[in-house]
Amino acid sequence: MAASFLLASGSPRRRELLGQLGLTFDVQAAELDEAVQPGEAPRRYVERLAREKAAAVRQRRPGAVVLAADTSVVVDDVILGKPGSEATAGAAMLRALSGRTHQVMTGVAVAGEAVEAVVVTSDVVFRPLTDAEIAWYVATGEGADKAGGYALQGRAAAFISAIVGSSTSVIGLPLAESVELLRRAGVRLPWEQA
């Protein structure tokens, strides 16, 4: 079966989420400068990046429908990036989240004839973490390439006492909103196949 759209992301989590719905797509990651612009609010940032990623891939593949997303973890209106292999950065992020509620914002954009985008915000509640838990988690390396330094779908699930909003958005792609944007762009969904 031919691909029905392009996913402008190299994220294996986004591929898995879309794949579990039976959607057919090809992957073509967008390579962009993801720096936050001076004074840019977190919500505006994730929407801008999702739009820019979708438009960049669509420009390379005219006529294709392109889905793109960007996810940020936000605490006290500050975007926490990805800690990378820097253990102290990962530990600092987890300490900032420990015992608190933070927001995960995911901007999703679909470029077809036009570019449509939405931002989905979910509240994530971390239980208080001990120094030993933080050191253990950072040592696993699981959060090194994740926004905010943790992965809901992995070991960090043990730290999360509640999610208010979309769990798939926290993982990196709000499926309900993504499916609706794809449908409006003309992508036939598996349950619409003849």
Q: Using CA atoms, how far apart are residues 129 and 76, in angstroms rounded to an integer?
A: 18
- The answer to whether 98 and 128 have CB atoms below 8 angstroms apart is yes
- The answer to whether 75 and 42 have CB atoms below 8 angstroms apart is no
The tokens for 75 are 């605490």
Q: Active site residue: 26, 33, 70, 131, which one?
A: 70
What phi-psi label fits residue 16: left (phi over 0), alpha (psi between -120 and 50 degrees) or beta?
Answer: alpha
Other beta carbons within 10 angstroms of residue 100's beta carbon come to 14
Please confirm, yes or no, whether 77 is among the known catalytic residues: no
3-state secondary structure 31-62: CCCCCCCCCCCHHHHHHHHHHHHHHHHHHHCC
List residues with catalytic annotation: 70
